[in-house]
Amino acid sequence: MGFLFKLPFSLCLILLLLLLFNGTFGILEDNNNKAALLAFKNGIFSDPKNHLQNWRLDSNLHFCNWTGIECNNVTHKVVSIDLSRNSIHGTISPFLSNLSSLTILDLSDNFFEGQIPKELGSLRNLEQLDLKLNLLTGKIPMELQNLNKLEYLHFGSNKLEGKIPELLFCNGSSSSLIYIDLSNNSLSGKIPLKNGCEMKGLEKFLLWANKFEGQIPSALLNSTTLQWLDLGSNKLSGEFPVMKMPSLVYLYLFENEFVSHDGNSNLEPFFSSFLNSSKLQQIDLASNHLGGEIPSIIGDLHANLSELHLSNNLIHGSIPPSISKLINLTVLNLSGNLLNGTIPFEVGRLRKLESIQLSNNLLSGEIPYSLGEIQPLSYIDFSRNKLSGSVPETLANLSQLRQLWLYGNHLSGTIPPSLGKCNNLDSLDLSSNQISGVIPSEIAVRTMKIYLNLSRNHLHGPLPLELSKMDMILAIDLSSNNLSGPIPSRLGNCIALEYLNLSYNSFDGSLPFSIGQFPSLQTLDVSFNQLIGNIPDSLQTSSSLKQLNISFNNFSGRVPDKGVFSWLTMYSFLGNNGLCGSIIGLPKCRERHKFYKFLPILLCSSVAFVFCIAGIVFALRLKTRLNISILNRRGFEECEEQITERKEMKYPRISYRQLVDATDGFSSSNLIGSGRFGEVYKGILPDKTKIAVKVLKPIRIGGEISGSFKRECQVLKRTRHRNLIRIITTCSRPDFNALVLPLMSNGSLESYLYPNNRGSSIHKPDLAQLVSICSDVAQGVAYLHHHSPIRVVHCDIKPSNILLDDDMAALVTDFGISRLIIQGETNNSTSHRSESTSFSSTHGLLCGSVGYIAPEYGLGERASTEGDVFSFGVLLLEVVTGKRPTDLDFQQGAGLHEWVKSHYPHKLDDIVDEAMERYGFSRPNVAKQFPKLRREVIFELLELSIMCTQYTPSFRPSMVDVAHEMTRLKEHLLNSSSLLIREASPANDEGC
C-alpha cells in the first residue's frame, strides 16, 4: 500500500474508483449468469436424473460448479452448458442469450419441446450448438444466421419444418462450419448454399429424411474437405452431379429422384468422377430413378470401397465382371432393378463380401459355385429372379452364412444335405421353386432362429424327425408340396415356434397332442391334408394360439369351445364332415344314448324313416311344381324357403311384411346402395339381427331382372366360401324379388377407399389392411373360378361389390350378372386354367361396370375367367393409386391400366411415391427398412396389376396364381416386423 502514498492524490482517487467499478461490474455479471441459468431451470418440467437439483438460488455452490456448467477460469463466466442424455422435459429459455461468453450449448438427447428461441442468435461466441434428439417444432430462426463462429450445428431428429434460413450455412464469403446435421426433420425447400461460399473446413453435411427439393448445391461439389455427405430420403432431382471430393468417405443419396446422364441412360460420368477418391468407402444410390447399365469402370474405383448400394432403380443390362476388382467390398446390393444375364462367376473373388443382394431382377442361369469360396459371406438374397439349376453344394462351406433367400426362381434338383453344416444359418427360404426330393434331415439346423420356408415346391416323403431339434426356430412353412406320412409328435419340441404351416400336402394320421403344447405358437395351418381323428384338446388350452386352420381334412368329433376356438368361425373347419360343435355353421353334436345296445334297432328304424321322408319330399316337390303358378297368382305373402347345399340346413322364413317393418317401409333413410338392377336397404329384424335387403327393380324387357335374381340365388345358394357373401334367405312375389343378406358393419371397400364420400373423417388407408382385403377378394374369386361346385365368372368386380365385415375381412357380393360355366370345362386338376371354357350369355348385356370391363368384352367376346382377372387388376391399381378408373382423366383417353403401363418401368417411382405418401410412409421416423418394405410391396402390387390387365386374355395369370401371390404379399407385409420377412443386412444393423 505504500506506493499509493507516493502518487498524486487525484491519481489515487481514479485508481480507487476503477477498482470499485470492476468489483461491482463483476458482481453484476455473475448475477446475470446465475439469473439466466435459473430462468432456464424454470422452463424444465421434469428432471428424472436430478441433474439440476443443485441449481438453486440459495445453493452454497457457485454456479460454475453446478451440474453441466463450465466457466472460464479467469472471468468466471459460463462458457459451456452440457445437459445431454438426461431425459429432461421442458422448453429452452430465451434467457440463455444473456450468457454472452457461451461457446458450447449441448441439450441433445432429451425431451425439450416448443420452438428454438430466436434469442440464441445473439450468442456471437457460440461454436457448438447441439439440440438433436428432442421434440422441437417450428422453423429454424433466421437470427441463427448471425452465429459467425459456429463450427458444429446439430438439430437432427426433431420435428422442425419449413425452409432453412438462406444464410444459415454461410453468411459471408466463407463459413466456419465443420459439422452440419439437420437430418430426420420435415424441412423443405432448396438447400441454401450459395455458389460463392467457400466451405473450407466442412467435413460432414447430413440432411437425410427431410423434404428438400432441387439439385445439390455446386458449393458442395468441389469441397476438398468433405468426408460425409448424406442427403438420402428427400426429393432431390436432376442428373447426378459430377463430384470432385478427394476426401469423401461416405456418400448417401438414396431415396431421391436423381437420374443418370444423357437422358437417364449413362452412369459412367458419375462413377468416373470418383476414380481419384481414394478414401471413398460407401456409396448408397438406392431408390432413385437411375437408368443405364453398370459401367465396367466401376471396377476401377479405389479398392477401399466397402459398400455399394444401387437397389430399386431402373438399371438394366448385365453385372460387369469387373466389379470383382473391388476386393474390399463387404456389401453389394443391386436388388430391385432390371438386370439380366447371369451372375458373374468372378464375384467369387470378392473374398471380403458379407452381404450380396440381387433380388427382384431378371437374372438367369445358375448360381455360381464360386460363392462358396467367400468365407465371410453371411447374407445371400437372390429371390425373385429366373435362376435355374440346383442349389450349389459349395454354399455349405460358408460357416458364417446366416440368411439364404433363393425363393421365387426356377431352381430344381434337391436340397443339398450339406447345408446343415451352416451352423449360423438363421433363415432359409427356398420357396416357390421346382425343387424335388425329400427334406434332408441334415437341413434341420438346431441353431436356426428365424424361419425355414420350403413351401411351393415338389418335395415329397415324410417330415424328418430331426425338425424337432430346431428349438430356436420361429416359423416353419412347408405348405404346397407333396409331403406325406404322419406329423411327428416330437415336433412339439420346437418350443420357440410361432408359425407353422403344413397346408396343401398329403399328411395323414391324427394331429399330435403335442402340437398344442407349443408355448409360443400363434398360427397353425394344416388345411388341405388327409388328417383324421379328433382335434387335440391341447389346442384349446394354448394361451398363445391366435389363428388355426384345419379345413379340408377328415377330422371328426366335437370341436372344442374354449381358447382359440371361442373366436374361430366355421371357415377354419370346412371340408371336415365329421365335425360338430357350438360354432355357428357346424352341426350340433348329439349326446350318446346310454342304451347303446338298441343302436342297431335305431339304425334300422332311421333308414326306414329316411326312405319315408324322401318319398314325402319327392311328392311335395312334385306338387309344388304343379301349383307354383297358382301360388304366384294368389300373391304369396311368405318368403320362399330355399335349401342350401347342406341338406340339413334351411333358410329361415321371413315374410314380406317383416322386411317392410325391418326397413321402415324401405325408407330412403335406410338406403345404403343402388345399382343397375335394384337398391339395397339396411334393416333390423325383431330378433335384433341386422340385415341388408337387396330389392330387385321391376321386371324389364327381355327378363333381365328375373334372370339376375335367379342367377344370384343360384350362385349364393350353391357356393360357400369365407370370402363370399352368404345368403340369409330370399323373398319372391309376382311384384317383388329380394335377397336378404347379413349387414356388413364396415360397409364396402369403396367407402373405405373414399371415406369422405360418405361423410366419414378423412384418413390415410392402411396398406397392410388393403393388401389383406385384396388377398381376400382374390381368394373368393379363385374359389368361384376353380373350386366352387358350380364354376362362376363374377363379371363385376369393383370396390362397391366388396363388403367388409367386423374384422375387416372382405366378402365378394353382387352376383346379378355373373355367368355359370356350362359343361365342357376341362377336369384336369393339375391346371389352374381351363383349356376350353364357355359360358351362358345374356343378350345385349355388357358384362361389368365401366372402367373395369375387359377389352375383349367390347369386341363381342363372351364372359370369361380372364375377364375377372382383368377387373381384379384394375381394382388393384385403384387401391394403389387412389384413382378411380372412371375419373375424367381416364374417360378422355386410355384407362387407368393404360396410364399405369405408360409409366412402366422408368416412371413407376412417381406412382409409388404418391402411394407412399397416401399410406403415410413418405417421411419415416423409423428405420429406413420399414418404408422400404412397403415400397417393395407397392412395386409388386403394380407389377401384378399390369400382368392382370394384359390386353391379350391368354397372357393374364389365372386367379389361383393371383391369389397365391396376394397371400404371399399379405404374409410378407403383416409378419415382416415380427418373424417371417425381415430386413437382415449388416448395413441395416449399423448402430444397433
User: Binding site for ATP: which residues?
Assistant: 694
* Residues paired with residue 315 on neighbouring β-strands, in sequence order: 292
The residues facing 174 across adjacent strands are 198
What is the enclosing helix (H) or strand (E) of 42? Answer: helix 9-42
Inter-axis angle of helices 929-948 and 908-918, nearest 10 = 120
Sign, CA torsion 598/604/608/614: positive
Mark 102-132 as b/e (b = at least 16 C-beta within 10 Å).
bbbbbbbbbebbeebbebbbbbebbbbbbbb
Q: At what angle do helices 767-786 and 929-948 cross, to 10 degrees?
A: 30
Distance separating alpha carbons of residues 231 and 903, to the nearest angstrom: 26
Cell of 914: 404418391
Catalytic residue, chosen from 106, 796, 868, 909, is: 796
**Is 477 one of the catalytic residues?**
no
Hey, what's the cell of 943? 407389377
Residue for grid cell 424454470: 42
Which residues does the annotation place in the binding site? 694
Choose among 662, 696, 693: nearest CA to 678.
Answer: 696
- State how far the Cα of 573 lies from the Cα of 511, in Å rounded to an integer: 14
- CA pair distance 296, 115, nearest whole angstrom: 50
C-alpha separations of 246 from 224, 273, 285, 300, 580 in Å: 6, 10, 19, 15, 76
User: Please, which residues bridge with residue 733 across strands?
Assistant: 736
Q: Helix, strand, coil: what percent of the chain each, to 5?
A: 30, 20, 50
Written as one letter, the residue type at 753 is L
Q: Which own/partner contact pairs does 651-658 have at CB distance under 8 Å and 24+ positions apart?
A: 651/727, 651/728, 651/729, 651/730, 652/728, 652/729, 653/729, 654/685, 654/728, 654/729, 654/731, 654/740, 655/731, 656/731, 656/733, 656/736, 658/685, 658/686
Sheet with strand 736-742: strands edge to edge: 671-674, 678-684, 690-696, 736-742, 729-733
Rg (CA), the chain: 36
Q: What amino acid occupies position 973?
A: L
Nine cell digits for residue 207: 440432411
Instruction: Select from 788, 782, 793 the least CA-distant residue to 837.
Output: 793
- From the list 878, 882, 968, 946, the residue with the least C-alpha distance to 920 is 882
Q: Which three cell numbers stand for residue 440?
A: 434332408
Residue 277 CA: distances (Å) to CA of 246, 254, 271: 5, 20, 10
What DSSP string runs through 930-988?
HHHHHHHHHHHHHHHHHHHT-SSGGGSPPHHHHHHHHHHHHHHHHSTTTTSS----TTT
CB 473 within 8 A of CB 449: yes
Q: What are phi and psi of 533, to 5 degrees?
A: 90, -170
Type of residue found at 398: L
Rounded to whole angstroms, the Cα distance separating 107 from 131 reads 5
Where in the sequence numbering do the catalytic residues fall?
796
